[in-house]
Structures are given as C-alpha cells and as structure tokens.
Copies of this chain bind each other. A is one copy, B any other.
Amino acid sequence: VSDLDDLTQRLREFTTARDWEQFHDPKSLILALVGEMGELAELFQWLPADSALARSLEEPLRTRVGEELSDVLLYLLRLADVLGVDLAEAATVKLSNSEDRFRPEDFQGTAPVKG
C-alpha cells in the first residue's frame, strides 16, 4: 500500500465532506501551498545557519516544524490529485533523471548552478 495514495484518498474525502472542491482549483491550491511554505520559512528565518538543525530538534519547535512540513505535503498531494498527476510515479522518474543528469563523478561536492 502506498502512503502517498492513502493520504491523497483521505484528503479527497476530507474535501468532499466539506464541499470544498469549489475552492481547490490549481491556482488557489498553489497559493495555499505558498502560504504553508511561508509558515515553514518563518520558523527558521532568524535561526543561525549553523545551529538551525539542532534548534529544530528541540520542543516546541520540533512539533511546529513537523506540522508545517505536513501542511506543505498535504496541499501538494491535494494539488497533484486535482491535476491528475501520480506524484509517486512522477517523482520516481524525476529522481532517476537527476541521477543520470548529475553524475557523481562530475558533481562531487559541487552544487549545480542555477542560471
């Protein structure tokens, strides 16, 4: 059983039970995703880079981080469902492409540069 499929199915039922399909067009869901991403960013913005990880492992931040990561995942799954994308399949293909494109011998310790 796929956990992505399970969550997607539960989200679909959650949406239908509240008659919220009317709000879940692609552009609105992307804005919701941006909102949750913003909440995630706020949790880390003022933490020093070299202690951010350690700080995020302590409560109450640890729980808050889990919640915001979850919100991003849930809206992402809802968006993929609305768009008819099999996200587990698409991500597997994308990762395979990256494995081919960024060959370990060419990118050892070197981050790819964005245009």
Please name all residues of chain B whose beta carbon is closer than 8 Å to the beta carbon of A53 when the two chains form the complex.
25-26, 82-83
Please name all residues of chain B whose beta carbon is closer than 8 Å to the beta carbon of A42 when the two chains form the complex.
31-32, 35, 38, 114
For residue A31, give the distance in angstroms from its CB to the closest CB of chain B.
Answer: 4
For residue A107, give the distance in angstroms from its CB to the closest CB of chain B.
Answer: 5
A24, closest chain B residue (CB) = B46
Total A residues in contact with B, Cβ cutoff 8 Å = 76
Q: Assuming the A-B contacts A53-B82, A80-B69, A85-B69, are A47 and B27 also in contact, with contact meaning beta carbons closer than 8 angstroms in the complex?
A: yes
For residue A69, give the distance in angstroms from its CB to the closest CB of chain B.
Answer: 5
Instruction: Check if B65 sits within 8 Å of A69, measured CB to CB.
Output: no
Instruction: Check if B76 sits within 8 Å of A35, measured CB to CB.
Output: no
Instruction: Check if B49 sits within 8 Å of A74, measured CB to CB.
Output: no
A 77-115 to B, binary, CB cutoff 8 A, 1 in contact else 0: 001101111011011111100110010100111010010
- Taking each of A23, A34, A70, which has the highest tally of chain B beta carbons within 10 Å of its own beta carbon? A70
* Interface positions of A from 26 to 63, Cβ below 8 Å from B: 26-28, 30-50, 52-53, 56-57
Enumerate the 5 nearest inter-chain pairs by beta-carbon distance, A residue then B residue, closest first: A38-B38, A49-B49, A46-B111, A70-B94, A35-B42
